[in-house]
Amino acid sequence: MRSRSIVLFACIGAMMVGVLLASTAAGSARQQRSRVIICPQQVEPTTTQCCGPPINTPDAVACCPNAALQCAVPRLTLASSKDPATAGSKLLLSGQLIDTSASARTIELWQKLPGSSSFTQTLSTTTSSTGAYSFTLAKGSVMTNRSWYATGAGLTSPTVQQGITLVLTLAASRRHGHTVLHGSVTPATKGGVVLQWLNVSGAWIVLDRARLTHSSRFSWRSRYSHGSAKVRAMVRQNADHVASFSPSANALVLRN
């Protein structure tokens, strides 16, 4: 009993030293949240821990006679499986809760759509034994740009900015002395497409613009000269989508 009391008093003294160190380093600790901290230990499995709360400073004193554990500062991560992603494609959002108690914790996903001023809570899940978690977004559920973040265990993840590209098709053909370019944009959008051709120096040059119909299709034609070039269609970036491009197609060189 006497030896245990000595250990306890020694722990209390060291804890006070640690608290003093923590108070003097509080300012720098807040700015360096990624540093390693000293986790509290137990003297014996049957006794309560003798250390105080973890001290977020490299000068922290481990008061227990056991070897001190090192653990990461609690945090929550979040990442998208693909960015940008094609409109309507399946997406996986995943992350990890890094904490001393990370198993079976509730994680909520928050979303903001284009034009919205605030986030709304959409999905929830629980962490695995390692703190890992994921959200599966089915095909057809993500059609426009959006922002996401996750919350759980009193923590908030960094915000993920998800870019979404439109699906563009393009075909080229020759009809009665003309080159015809035609295709479609999915999902349907307003405005038009920009037609480009690839010059000999490897730069994409604007050829012309074509308006989209109500069914989000386009068609354009022009007389051609001899020779050929790669052409493509694009839709410029807007609030709903990032810049989107069709696969390239071969066409006869066109006259403006």
Query: Do residues 50 and 89 both lie within one domain?
Result: no
Q: What is the pLDDT of residues 25-49, one digit of tens each?
A: 444 433 333 344 445 444 444 433 4
The predicted pLDDT at position 75 comes to 94
Residue 93 contacts residue 72 (beta carbons within 8 Å): no
In tens, the pLDDT along 53-68 reads: 444 444 444 444 444 4
Torsion angle (degrees, nearest 10) of CA 22, 24, 27, 29:
-30
Out of 115, 149, 164, pick the residue that ends a domain. 164
Which tokens sit at 25? Answer: 């380093």
| Judgement on whether residues 221 and 243 belong to the same structural domain of the protein | yes
Q: Which domain holds residue 154?
A: 75-164
Q: What is the pLDDT of residue 9?
A: 43
Percent of the chain with pLDDT over 90: 61
Decide if pLDDT at 250 tops 90: yes
What's the predicted TM-score (pTM) here?
0.71
Out of 164, 183, 211, a domain closes at: 164
d(CA 92, CA 199): 38
Per-residue confidence (pLDDT) for residue 175, from 0 to 100: 84
